[in-house]
Chain A
Amino acid sequence: MTALAINNLTVELPAVARRPLVADVTLQVGAGEVVGLVGESGSGKSVTARAALGLFPPSAQVTGSVRVAGTEVVGLTGQALRRLRAEQVAMVFQDPRASINPLRRVGDFLTEALRANRGWSKAKALTRAVELLTEVGIAQPGVAVRKYPHQFSGGMLQRVMIASALAVEPVLLLADEPTTALDVTTQAEILATLLSAQAERAMAMLFVTHDLELAATICDRIAVMYAGRIVEEQPAQRLFDAPQHPYTRGLLTATPKLPAGGDAASSDVAPLVPVAGRPLSLAENPAGCAFAPRCPIVVDDCAAATPVTRVRDGASVACHRADELIGRDA
């Protein structure tokens, strides 16, 4: 069964934003699959991921369908919504320091959900918390549960956050930029922890990031979002080798690469080409393709209508010129 099936999800905030935060998004994550959701800030990737938890912005208007292991999430309230969050979906947030209550012990944070949602005794929940902390690589877990969050480094605290997500035994794990707030060496360790836990449990994972290269190394499939829409979706390696949407191509040429020889000064380094222009703000809602003002291959049609998503050979692209681009050598 697909762990997550989003169909034509649209999230609007009429009081705040002129354009939808998320527009007509369709995305699937199969059991045991790792799917990357890539885009710049404000592209709607976090809103899409949070939809799987039934966590919509206050007073948002939501249409479409979000199913987690067959359960419809849109419109879910009260006890049923709590059950979804307690048993099916868990999320690792970006900034562990902001995500964990600073005034309570780490052990309280870990056991709280187990005790409230499963009715476990304090001792049983604490035993499980210690096991999970061991799994995510925290030394002396028995001591760690008695400590407060400010006594941990950011990386250690993110491990605590991962342990709390694993405690749910979720069908679907959401990771919203889980390494962005951490320093580079810690990032690799946290990713390894996350991926080994995912593989061991054959959990589905939706990995939200702005880092296309990172997504390509850890994900099976990648969806690229721009201004609330998914503009391209492909298996990770193919997206990297043969990007089809001009925005994806722009992102890839804007990524610095070291030459294979290790000589950064050599002349065969591809020049860095930034994507011209600026991302669409929430106050703008132009007709046609949202990327048109920044697109290097824009034609008159682009401003006339929103491009439909075309699917071919397992790749889907929302671009008026997709057919020509696929034919062309990338």
Chain B
Amino acid sequence: MGAAASIPRFVAGRVGGLLLTVGVTSFLIFSATHLAPGRPEEFLLRGRPVSPEALAAVRAQYHLDDPLLVQYWRWITGVFTGDFGRSLQFRQDVGGLLASRLPTTLLLVGYASLMIVLVGLLLGVVAALRPGKLDRSIMLISTVAAATPGFVAVIPLSAVFAVGLGWFPVFGNGEGLLDRLWHLTLPAVAVAVSVVGLLARVTRSAMLAELSREHVEVARSRGLPFGSVVRRHALRNSLGPITTLSGLIVAGLFVATFVIEVAFGLSGLGSLLVTAVQAKDFPVVQAITMIGVLAFVVTNLLVDLLYPLIDPRVSLRAGVAR
């Protein structure tokens, strides 16, 4: 039928928009790194005095004398074939460099997302169902948590749980999945702390709005168990705003993890980005920034695709730009 037929068209439209967004941001990213102060060849030569001929040779090797647009075109066509260029500081393919770092970041983002969604939903639902002291305490704690940046949370977290109690390691990636998760627990908590309260708040207000709806009263008047009224009617109908916010949060986590990775000495994309920025390692900075943009756009696309499943009144066709 109509709704089913419109799904491929919707996806095609959204993927087109996605490519346009990626195209524009990639150019901005590329030109921005070239506008930044400091020149890459100075890093390459480690400040050694060299002859003008040697300098010209280095610039030619890295195509630094070509016009910006030509450099951009060489870079972006490479990106689409999986070639992100060569890292200036590691003298290694950026692709391989990223591949070794990406799993840690993805695992951290996934772990933190799971924590945020589970704890945020739980707190929000409990706060909505138990007005009074419990509701007020949850909201107070989530406000304090929301005002705590991740890198600040790192200090008490590692002081108490790593140094004081010795439950978790302070440093390193770990080996094997369980050991890795054990190493990633404190970083994931640090990432989650500041956003979990936000999700709890949105869940609470969406739940309160739904609980006061007439169809919820009707469900209660039909003798349905309280638990299924909450799950099938109030929570089910609150999923719209919860999903939208969760999508934004998960997309934003890629950036949030960068600082935390450095704080906990994890070798993920974040710590790589920080050293790359300090070293003017342009290809690495560009590649990681592009991954951040892609993560954001793809997560939003997934949320948009999920929405008609949550609310049958939303048709995908209405979402296609005309």
Please list the residues of chain A having a beta carbon within 8 angstroms of any beta carbon in chain B: 50, 53, 55, 81-87, 90-91, 93, 95, 98-104, 112-113, 116-117, 148, 150, 164, 168
Contact = CB atoms under 8 A, between A and B. Distances in A.
Given A112-B232, A148-B313, A100 B223 contact: no
A136 B269 CA distance: 63
B220 A103 contact: no
Contacts of B310: 103
Contact of B213 (A50, A86, A98, A168): A98
Nearest to A165: B222
A99 B224 contact: no
A178 to B, nearest CB: 13
Contact of B233 (A55, A95, A101, A168): A101
Contacts of A55: 217, 220-221
B215 A99 contact: yes
Contacts of B222: 85-86, 90, 112-113, 117, 164, 168
Contacts of A50: 221
B67 interface: no
Contacts of A148: 312-313
Contact of B215 (A81, A83, A100, A113): A100
B20 interface: no
Contacts of B313: 102-103, 148, 150
Contacts of B214: 93, 95, 98-99
Contacts of A116: 223-225, 228
B223 A83 contact: yes
A99 B222 CA distance: 11
A157 to B, nearest CB: 12
Given A99-B214, A117-B222, 17 more contacts: A55-B221, A85-B222, A90-B222, A95-B214, A99-B215, A100-B218, A101-B215, A101-B219, A101-B236, A102-B215, A102-B312, A103-B313, A104-B232, A112-B222, A112-B224, A116-B228, A148-B312
Interface residues of B, number: 21
Contacts of A112: 219, 222, 224, 228, 232
Most buried by A among B221, B228, B232, B233: B221
Contacts of A87: 223
A83 B215 CA distance: 20
A67 B219 CA distance: 22
Given A99-B214, A100-B215, A102-B215, A150 B223 contact: no
Interface in B285-322: 310-313
Given A95-B214, A99-B214, A99-B215, A53 B221 contact: yes
Contacts of B218: 91, 93, 99-100
9 contacts: A55-B217, A93-B214, A99-B215, A101-B237, A102-B215, A103-B310, A103-B312, A113-B222, A113-B223
A59 to B, nearest CB: 11
Contacts of B223: 81-87, 113, 116-117
Contacts of B225: 82, 116
B132 to A, nearest CB: 12
B295 to A, nearest CB: 29
A85 B221 contact: yes
A84 B223 CA distance: 7
A147 to B, nearest CB: 9
Contacts of B224: 82, 112-113, 116-117
Most buried by A among B213, B218, B219, B310: B218
